[in-house]
A and B are shown apart, each in its own frame.
Chain A
Amino acid sequence: MVGTALQRRLIWRTAEVVDLVDETPRVRSLVLAVPGWPGHQAGQHVDVRLTADDGYQTQRSYSIASPPSTDERLTLTIERLDDGEVSPYLAGELHAGDQVELRGPIGGYFVWAPAVGGPLLLVAGGSGLCPLMAMLRLRQAAGSTVPARLLYSSRSLDEVIYRDELNKLVAMENGLEVMLTLTRQQPPGWTGLHRRIDTDMLSAVAWPPAERPWTFICGPTPLVETAANALVNLGHEPARIKTERFGPTGG
């Protein structure tokens, strides 16, 4: 992260797509090479700007899914919203070698590093998993054994982003637990959770408030507010619950 503190004005940089990974039928990761990228913290985001031939510009914020690194690369994981203005292009039409403009890293609030400690409670819905995955990837890369629990709400098993990687991280048995709740469709024989995140679920999954966990919640606004309010009602310190709502971004 050398250089991050010295970077004053955010500048637009040209990033080149070096790899594309289909995570689910509607979600694609873009691996971007960004010359001069100063590095980032887990949980930060970038602004991506698109310019049409007639000069019309539009921009969106996307969380960085890759952990901090020094290789001037970062990964964005983007859900394609069919009526969206930006995501169908980024997650549908971009090819390796194409360029996009971005600036960042942005944000210093919704961030975690091993030195912050834990235990860590991560709650996500849909592509809200992206910034939390950067935290889990950093935890793994840094050899951290901070106890961590991820509660992830997905419509179906097929729509679980990073499914294989999450399974591998859990199999390492270094203090990470992952709980899935599948809200719309469950595979035959599914014995896990299958309803929207609620107080009972958080009461069962969350660390006891006395352990003073750091909590990060990211996803659609109703999910974020339900989870954050439930945790406060369960006795968790509001100042240790950090939220990132998607809102109606228009994709």
Chain B
Amino acid sequence: MAITEQELRLDGNAAAGLLRDVFVHEFTSVRGACATCGAEGEMGAQHLYMTPLSPGAVLRCATCGSMLMVVVRAGGRFRVGLQGLIWLEMQDEGAAS
């Protein structure tokens, strides 16, 4: 049975565990801007493509569909591609609140 693209699509928050491993920071509430269309939003609101046994994840812009970020986990290492993001903005957890 073929799986459609819609069935594969998840929300960025589904990669929260994986991205915590990479960034050591809660990542789904981090804001960013798409390098392709300029849309700004929280990473948890973007589209994620990932399956339980896949070696990584692809995060795509929920507005234009362009790739924001690729994370691959293999051989005891992470490789993170951030070519689709202009910037990321996150809480400074060391700052007094």
Chain B binder among A2-10, A133-141, A172-180, A202-210: A2-10
A-B contact pairs, 6 of them (CB 8 A): A8-B25, A9-B20, A108-B16, A109-B11, A245-B14, A247-B10
B74 interfacial by beta-carbon distance below 8 Å: no
Residues of A within 8 A of B28 (CB): 107-110
Cα A105 to Cα B16 with chains together (Å): 10
Q: Given known contacts A5-B93, A47-B17, is B43 in contact with A109 (CB within 8 Å)?
A: yes
A109-B29 in contact (CB<8A): yes
B24-A8 in contact (CB<8A): yes
A244-B24 in contact (CB<8A): no
List chain B positions with a Cβ less than 8 A from chain A.
3, 6-14, 16-17, 20-21, 24-26, 28-29, 41-45, 51-53, 93
B7-A10 in contact (CB<8A): no
How many residues of chain A get a CB closer than 8 Å to chain B's CBs? 31
List chain A positions with a Cβ less than 8 A from chain B.
5, 8-10, 45, 47, 58-61, 85, 103-104, 106-110, 221-222, 225, 239, 242-250
B44-A109 in contact (CB<8A): yes
Min CB distance, B97 to chain A, in Å? Answer: 8
